[in-house]
Amino acid sequence: MVETDKAGQQDTPKKHNAFLSALNSIDKSLGWIEKTVISVCILAMALLMSAHVVGSLLFNRGIPGTYEVTEMLIIVITFVGVGYAARCARHIRMSAIYDMLGDRPRKVLMIILCIGTAILMFYFAYKSAQYDMALFERGRVSSSLNIPLWTINLALPIGFTLAGIQYVLTTLRNLFSEGIYRSFSEKEEFSELPLDDSGETHTPDGPMGP
């Protein structure tokens, strides 16, 4: 019986590590997709605007539909960027009360916030998908290039879904790992204030210092 218990205890960390490794693979795959889409859109927007300006200056004729395509690319960057910001924990945080809590209450609150935000993101994805279906059924197109608007607005449900998945991953990371994680890969850390010889904290003198 003792040997069986030891074997079971050894298998638990392996299963735990395998689970986190699988989640890490999902996180990296989603991160690659987000970075690729955002990078391609920014590069395309920069090249298109540059070519439009050069054409206007040299040939007195720019590229038709440049501003329309730029607006569409901004939509894609914005909503796919929601998931990327969540993945990198670069979203705006209101942490006045959160920072005053201890480690355990802070972790519990982080899990609750991640679950709530994930539900909200999936709800936004659902509503934006309904809106996109309405655009598809009505056959709405852009004014200049006649591009179907539903193709561009796909960025809304996709972006919100990616963000919701990131918050689910963050929730699982906090449930199965030690410490507090703001995202799946970003661990929360606080920098300690330096101590002087008396053991009291102090801030270094600067332009506004004494």
Q: Which residue has the tokens 């927007």?
A: 45
Is there a domain that residue 11 lies in? no
Residue 141 has φ and ψ, to the nearest 5°, of -130, 165
What pLDDT is attached to residue 207? 47
What pLDDT is attached to residue 208? 45
What pLDDT is attached to residue 11? 54
Is there a domain that residue 72 lies in? yes
User: What is the domain extent for residue 172?
Assistant: 16-91+100-176
Burial class (CB in 10 A: 0-12, 13-18, 19+), 147: middle
What pLDDT is attached to residue 121? 94
Residue 201 has φ and ψ, to the nearest 5°, of -75, 150
Is there a domain that residue 68 lies in? yes
The SS3 call for residue 201 is strand
Which of 36, 51, 46 is CA-nearest to residue 70?
Answer: 46
The SS3 call for residue 97 is coil
Is there a domain that residue 190 lies in? no
CA distances to 4, 9, 22, 136 from 13, rounded to whole Å, are 15, 7, 14, 49
Is there a domain that residue 3 lies in? no
Is there a domain that residue 209 lies in? no
Q: Which residue has the tokens 């056959």?
A: 139
What pLDDT is attached to residue 105? 83
pTM above threshold 0.85:
no
What pLDDT is attached to residue 133? 93
What pLDDT is attached to residue 14? 62
What pLDDT is attached to residue 132? 92
Which of 44, 62, 80 is CA-nearest to residue 152?
Answer: 80
- How many folded domains does the chain comprise? 1
What tens-digit pLDDT sequence spans the chain (210 residues)? Answer: 444 444 444 555 666 677 778 888 888 888 888 889 999 999 999 998 998 888 888 888 878 888 888 999 999 999 998 888 888 877 666 677 777 777 788 888 888 889 999 999 999 999 999 999 999 999 888 888 888 989 999 999 999 999 999 999 989 888 887 888 777 777 776 555 455 555 555 555 544 444
Residue 66's Cβ-side half-sphere holds a number of Cα atoms within 13 Å equal to 16
Is there a domain that residue 171 lies in? yes
What pLDDT is attached to residue 182? 79
Look up residue 195 and give its two tokens: 């101590």
